[in-house]
Chains A and B, each alone.
Chain A
Amino acid sequence: MQRKRNAAFTVIAAASMVFGLAACGSDGGDGDGKKADAGNSKGKTLTVWFMSGSNPKQWTADIKAAFEKQTGAKLDVKVQQWNGIQQKLTTALSESSPPDVFEIGNTQTPAYAATGGLADLADVKGDLGADQWTKSLNQSAVVDGKQYAAPWYFANRVVVYNKEIWKKAGIKATPKSRSEFLADLQKIKKTGNEPIYLPGQNWYVLDGLLIENGADLVKKDGDKYVSNLSDPKVGKAMEEYKKLQAYSNAPKDKDEATPQQAEVFAKGKTGTMIAMGWEAATAIAANKSIESKIGYFTVPGATSAKPGGVFLGGSNLAVSQNSKNPALAREFLKLAMSDKFEGALAKEAGVIPNKESLNSNLDGNAVAQAATPSVPFGGTTPLIPEWAAVENPPNPIKSYMTAYLSGKSHEAAAKSVEAEINKRLSQKQ
């Protein structure tokens, strides 16, 4: 999931800079122990890391009971904070007894696969139900043809709207295509309200449009990746973004977090925002009276034939290469990926499951029902280890967006940041 990437001062990570090298010698004990340890698991403990907010209470209790009953081993669930997780995970994976199974953000998965810290799951892929996984959700877990993680749960943006404002503008039904959407925004504008809150740098909204237009942000040049930002397809997506942005009073040089768009929406003078489900909760927390006015619909596409592209945020489950309990870890994965527990997770947490056949668990959940139609048409950011550095603030793509929206041509705006993107893509791994 894409959260605020925020480097916290972890003493552990700092210490690892100093002491990490001292602990030499590899502990790669995979292969031989895989089958042996599952049979005789009494007294063993499997350590699993989940990210804060990922594992709901009932689901956690149920899977713990089921796992312990099935294997005789103990399950130790540790919940980690998103803040500083990359440093903590890197350090943990370098140690001789890392967590056996851990949750990892989908866009972070390729980078960790490249570090050699994740085990190849080819041997259990079939048992995990891989043939039924939604294709777009599994993309991040496969690197160079190898299955390095299992797709666990997902979330994507929906359109959150203020029913009262839309009604006042005389709009009867929610739009199915972007032209209808723009026409509706025009109607709202006439009522004097802000039609949509869309700052100039909501880069995940642009990413959705890029995915819809089949635009790639990077391309291969020999054996390394370079920026593909100047591609006309990117320009096309940005043009679509600009059309939407024109209906917003939001600043062109800020992103959706400064100020929090949900807090702007909460004031009740904004018709629409493109947001994650939890942002609606933020708006409600800021202004209780808005709760009854909030509605959701799927991000409209170019035509009414299919929904618009969205950025799919989510998490995979991975097994450490250095796990002392590789077979038990795989047993846990099988359990978590089973229809029973994957479905229960979707139901309790309101997240999108890894198989479309499990979507029925989301009946009655308005946000999730607006989100699921987009999933097959969703995508991510470029799934290469080098990509993470590009998004480090100040994100050059955000600079591109501001430059374009302030009147520069697509070519000129792209040119102004491509050197920076290439510099970041060529950082040593």
Chain B
Amino acid sequence: MAVQSDGVVVRPDADSGKTGSPPPSPPGTGGRPTPVPARRPGAAGALLAGSAPYLLLLPAVVATVALLGWPLVKNGLLSFQNLNPRQLIQHITEWNGVDNYQAVLKSSEFWKVTGRSVVFTAANVALIMVCGALVGLLLNRLGKKMRLTLSLGLVLAWAMPVVAATTVYQWLFDSRFGVVNWMLDALGWHSMKDFNWVGGQLSTFFVITLLIVWQSIPFVAFNLYAALTTIPNELYEAARMDGAGAWRIFGSVTFPVLRPFFLATTFLEVIWVFKAFTQVFAINQGGPERLTETLPVYAFVEGVGNQHFGMGAAISVLTIVFLLVLMSYYFRVILKQEEEL
């Protein structure tokens, strides 16, 4: 949330546009920070105090630049090179301008993969938000014991390492020895006995989606539960007194209050699903016939798998660009909020 940090100027009318907020409130309530004591006298101390935030930020910035920034720059440079095994082995640098980008943007395969990634992301995020919100609401309603049990289950799902979870799902959906096929067969659906889940595009995506949604629900559920506890009970009471049912209460009280929460979580999930590599790759390496490759997997298969490193770098740069485009709506909302404040 963007909030002025000096807190000196209080504009009582600033909040009037927000829904659900109480009327203008004095500083110190309504989520506004208390005014920070302004700079106290003391020359050297002031300098130190002034630079302290930057010094504290330094380790994180250095780590981010070294581990993310530098590879990103390198990756950007690679995307303008013709780099294949021959150039790599003989240490030759061949700049080729925007050839890689031209080739990628002209290839119909790339656009197919892009479309697939967008649909895949939309479907997963929708499922995650709906299921996660339902579980979060459930957490809020449950009694102590059941809430603890459910929380424990969610924490375990959340804590499971991605690769381990993927392996478990591979076993669950194994065509001959998987418990899913065994169960479907036992329940009477005999044609599923030896069903090859990773043999077709849709069934492979089904397994991947189930895995990703299962892994993401805890995050959304816990966040929603935490957010729900901040809604004062009086609002619900008032709504109920006015005769609102469960749907109406959710639509008129819970959702409007939690709008910023839903927005932020949805976009975090968009990032998380769009860049999901491990699950998609580990389940079936983007197969069958490269039909479940999403953009990150496509970049990897073209770049590292087929050893066209420059081409792979160009695809990965475009992947980041697309992600930024998908996120632009969120950025706009954030910027707008900042203006409003």
Contact = CB atoms under 8 A, between A and B. Distances in A.
Contact of A17 (B91, B281, B312): B312
Contact of A115 (B90, B281, B306): B90
Interface in B113-131: none
Contacts of A259: 196
Nearest to B288: A258
Contacts of B308: 427-428
B88 A26 contact: no
A9 B287 contact: no
Give the most central of B78, B305, B308: most A CB within 10 Å.
B305
Contact of A117 (B71, B82, B89, B196): B89
Contacts, number: 84
A50 to B, nearest CB: 21
B307 A116 contact: no
Given A18-B75, A393-B287, A428-B84, A94 B89 contact: yes
B289 A90 contact: no
B86 to A, nearest CB: 4
Interface in A1-40: 6-7, 9-10, 13-14, 16-18, 20-21, 23-26
Which one of B82, B85, B90, B312 has the highest number of Cβ atoms from chain A below 10 Å of its Cβ? B85
B304 A14 contact: yes
Contact of A25 (B82, B91, B290, B312): B91
Interface string A93-120: 1100000000000000001101111000
Contacts of A18: 71, 74-75, 78
A281 interface: no
A87 B71 CA distance: 19
B252 interface: no
Main secondary structure on B side of the interface with A: helix
What is the interface residue range for chain A against chain B? Answer: 35 or more
Contact of B91 (A6, A9, A10, A26): A26
A429 interface: yes
Given A7-B305, A87-B304, A114-B86, A17 B289 contact: no
B162 to A, nearest CB: 12
B285 interface: yes
B305 A429 contact: no
B313 A93 contact: no
Nearest to B175: A259
A388 to B, nearest CB: 8
A429 B89 CA distance: 12
B93 interface: yes
A282 interface: no
A429 B87 CA distance: 9
Contact of A9 (B90, B281, B289, B313): B281
Contact of B300 (A7, A23, A428): A7
Contacts of A115: 84-86, 88-90
A304 interface: no
Contact of B313 (A17, A91, A117): A17
B303 interface: yes
Interface residues of B, number: 33
A90 B88 contact: yes
Contacts of B260: none
Contacts of B313: 17
A17 B303 contact: yes
B290 to A, nearest CB: 6
B307 A6 contact: no
B309 interface: yes
A183 interface: no
Contacts of A93: 85, 89
Contacts of A114: 86
Contacts of B289: 393-394
A392 interface: yes
A359 interface: no
A389 interface: yes
Contacts of B300: 7, 9
B33 interface: no
Contact of A429 (B71, B86, B288): B86
19 contacts: A6-B285, A7-B304, A10-B304, A16-B88, A17-B75, A17-B309, A21-B78, A21-B83, A87-B304, A90-B88, A93-B89, A111-B85, A117-B85, A117-B89, A258-B196, A393-B290, A394-B290, A428-B84, A429-B84
Given A7-B306, A87-B304, A116-B89, 11 more contacts: A17-B313, A18-B75, A20-B309, A21-B74, A21-B83, A87-B307, A90-B85, A94-B88, A115-B88, A259-B196, A393-B287
